[in-house]
Structure 1
Amino acid sequence: MKKLFIALLIVCSVNLTAQEIKPSEVKKNMKRVADWQIEHFRDHFSGKKPHHIADWTNGALYIGMVKWAAMAGDDTYYDWLKKISEDQEWKLHRRQYHADDHTVGQLYCELYRKYGDKKMIEPTIKQFNYIMYHPSQSILDWKTPYHQDRWNWCDALFMSPPVWAKLYRITGEKKYLDFMVTEFKATTDFLFDKKENLYYRDQNYIGKLDNGTKIFWSRGNGWVFAGLVNILVELEPQSKQYKYFLGIYKKMAKKLLEIQTAEGHWAMSLLGQKFYPTPETSGSSFFTFGLAWGINQGILDKGTYGPAVKKGWNAMVGHITKDGMLGYVQPIGAAPGKAWPDKTEVYGTGAFLSAGSEVYKLFGGK
């Protein structure tokens, strides 16, 4: 009986990943997940109370939701995002320097681009100017005071750097780009494994092994990979800064292609598939997003990377419940762990919507 069950799982997995992708179906699934998340926005997920509207968790949701809003064909989703931003008075979250609390700034920048109202980005500009002119004096070592005032964990590269890049593009002021690149390089020098072309989540995982493998957290690297895309889209392709970020992006893309599971997802411990067989949809959605974007931009070869995107997207769609909830999202954490088919988180939805925005274009959506 056990062997039959495993065989059925394999057959279902093969059938799922082989399914053709239609742009209309991509939009349909994006809408299902977006609508479910809005309806359940103030639910409890990883914690005992709903996330603050400006928390990083929701910030990651908004980044995907605003991509969906641009595709949806009506202003329902823009109106929802605008109302949240107005409730927050267009301010970042509570900590001045902490990257997590900058995440929501990406939403404000995108709404500014749509509506052109400077009040939407003025608080972010004011806070970032303060940071630039009063840079943190901390070092990246986790044993030192105020160490998270700088980007010393890989998730941070998704949260804050794209906001700096967007402000550079919006204002034309290179000071925002220069500050961001300097800090990004410091983090990369600190956490990037040049042999594996992946990022350690933070200093605590460097040199440690899990079942004999180096510990590279899937979602942590998903944060980085998606963050790279959200930076690259703001830069001039001929610039030296673009080439720097593109170099990291290509190295990660090549590695991700090598370690994708047969089922289409990426293991929670990227090099430890055998020990972490459970699907995880937030990291995998970010990887799918990043790879699809690269193909759409002509950076990655479609023949080489297209099948990985197809498998990844079909695997993610396979974990949407009939009600529209994206399952198998690992709860808040910092390392490989557990996920369940009936558990989700807002950042998982954001990652899925980001993925859909590029998969839609890749498979013929206009």
Structure 2
Amino acid sequence: MKRLNFIIVVGALVITSLLQAQDIKSDEVKEVMTKVADWQIEHFQDASEKKPHPPLNWTNGALYVGMIKLAAISNTDTYYNWLKKIGEEHKWQLNDRIYYADDHTVSQMYIDLYRKYKDEAMIGPTKKQFDYILFHPAKTSLEWKSPYAQDRWNWCDALFMAPPVWAKLYNITGEKKYLDFLMSEYKATTDFLFDEEENLYYRDESYMGKLDNNTKIFWSRGNGWVFAGLVNVMNELDPKSKEYNYFLDIYLKMAKKLVEIQTPDGYWSMSLLGQTFYPTPETSGSSFYVYGLAWGINKGILNKSIYASAVKKGWNAVVKCVTDEGMLGYVQPIGAAPGSAWPDKTEVYGTGAFLSAGSEIYKLYGRK
């Protein structure tokens, strides 16, 4: 019996190693990205939890961030046209709350469409709202239960939602006021939520000092929001600038930590330091990490010999969660902490994360 168990274990390890060693082909990357995107568009307004997400909600905003990356490498304007139609139907407006970072997410897509079509109407409402924020900045504390606390970036998800918009506005206008606001608020949030020992972000103040199975609670998708957001900000800045290097320092610290805590199967546990207690695959956080790490290799920032195996393993892991129809499974539902995920459950933001990851994997393995 012991010998049989040994053979089974060794066989499983060999199969896993073979799967992980398989070459990734850029045309196959684009193919699976297209399949996932097409499935998501077809099911865009399907009920999620109790009802569909509003088109300008952060959930869909995160989808658009990934979808426009697919549009940029696609041989068709299908995805640009789909995104453009959403903007036109909503007159390029943002969601309801003036200061709330989640409601700013959709502007990342608006600005990227503006870059393609040069239509000022696409960015007019965003500039107007962000200029208002500049002249009427929130003064509240970052403490979780402070009044109007979420008028500032006091939860780590916010670092994906709003900062790239400020960086994009700076890039397309050249007006430093947008960059100055970005740096001031980002530093305040990082000083508050970043754990210098673990090089990870708490989701918000309420998780500081708490333990889950004797481990600090660092939520995978929460840190995935941060890691992907760092990339989306740095893409807008001059690599020689002090601002870029501020974000790069955080990015490098997180990247080093992330490869250390990747699970043997290629995912990242929903509780980053507690993979023993959260063995279920999760694809939204994992996709964001693949995106960020592949980007670092593509930019020559990360040593390929050190990081490439983690990227390959991670990409192969999330691709295994795509159904034959194109649905990305094992996406953790909306939340703020480690939880559960299921093979037959998805979410639009998971698709967005997957498409972002694919865009960098496509570049990485499309090189000659």
TM-score band, normalised by shorter chain: over 0.9
For residues 14 and 43 of structure 1, do their structure 2 counterparts lie closer, same or farther at Cα, with a shift above 3 Å needed? Answer: farther
What amino acid maps onto 2:21 in structure 1? Answer: A
Give the Å deviation of 1:277.
Answer: 0.5
The whole-number CA distance in structure 2 between the counterparts of 1:85 and 1:12 is 46
The whole-number CA distance in structure 1 between the counterparts of 2:198 and 2:144 is 23
What amino acid maps onto 2:184 in structure 1? Answer: T
Give the Å deviation of 1:15.
Answer: 3.5
Give the Å deviation of 1:17.
Answer: 2.1
CA displacement, residues 189-240 of structure 1 (integer Å, 9 cap, x when unaligned)? 0100000000000001001000010000000000000000000010001111
Correspondence for 1:259 among 245, 258, 261: 261
SS in structure 2 at match of 1:278 = coil
The whole-number CA distance in structure 1 between the counterparts of 2:84 and 2:150 is 29
Tell me, yes or no, if the aligned pair for 1:14 and 1:263 is still in contact at 8 Å: no
CA displacement, residues 252-277 of structure 1 (integer Å, 9 cap, x when unaligned)? 00000100011101000000010000
Matched, 1:32 2:59: no
Over aligned residue pairs, what C-alpha RMSD do you find? 1.6
Give the corresponding residue for 2:139.
137
Correspondence for 2:19 among 13, 16, 20: 16
Give the Å deviation of 1:14.
Answer: 3.5
Percent pairwise identity: 70
SS in structure 2 at match of 1:226 = helix
Give the Å deviation of 1:11.
Answer: 5.4
For residues 163 and 245 of structure 1, do their structure 2 counterparts lie closer, same or farther at Cα, with a shift above 3 Å needed? Answer: same
For residues 6 and 42 of structure 1, do their structure 2 counterparts lie closer, same or farther at Cα, with a shift above 3 Å needed? Answer: farther
What amino acid maps onto 2:269 in structure 1? Answer: A
What amino acid maps onto 2:358 in structure 1? Answer: G
The whole-number CA distance in structure 1 between the counterparts of 2:8 and 2:137 is 57
SS in structure 1 at match of 2:297 = helix
Give the corresponding residue for 2:364.
362
Give the corresponding residue for 1:99.
101
SS in structure 2 at match of 1:92 = coil
SS in structure 2 at match of 1:73 = coil
**Unaligned regions of 5+ residues in structure 2, if any?**
none
For residues 166 and 10 of structure 1, do their structure 2 counterparts lie closer, same or farther at Cα, with a shift above 3 Å needed? Answer: same
Tell me, yes or no, if the aligned pair for 1:16 and 1:315 is still in contact at 8 Å: no
10-19 or 302-311: bigger deviation? 10-19
The whole-number CA distance in structure 2 between the counterparts of 1:322 and 1:96 is 41
Give the corresponding residue for 2:44.
41
Matched, 1:160 2:166: no
Give the corresponding residue for 1:311.
313
SS in structure 2 at match of 1:337 = coil
CA displacement, residues 87-125 of structure 1 (integer Å, 9 cap, x when unaligned)? 111011000000000000000000000000000001000
The whole-number CA distance in structure 1 between the counterparts of 2:118 and 2:343 is 41
For residues 32 and 179 of structure 1, do their structure 2 counterparts lie closer, same or farther at Cα, with a shift above 3 Å needed? Answer: same
Tell me, yes or no, if the aligned pair for 1:16 and 1:318 is still in contact at 8 Å: no
Give the Å deviation of 1:143.
Answer: 1.9
For residues 336 and 5 of structure 1, do their structure 2 counterparts lie closer, same or farther at Cα, with a shift above 3 Å needed? Answer: farther
Matched, 1:286 2:310: no
Correspondence for 1:215 among 214, 217, 221: 217
The whole-number CA distance in structure 2 between the counterparts of 1:17 and 1:277 is 19
**Unaligned regions of 5+ residues in structure 1, if any?**
none
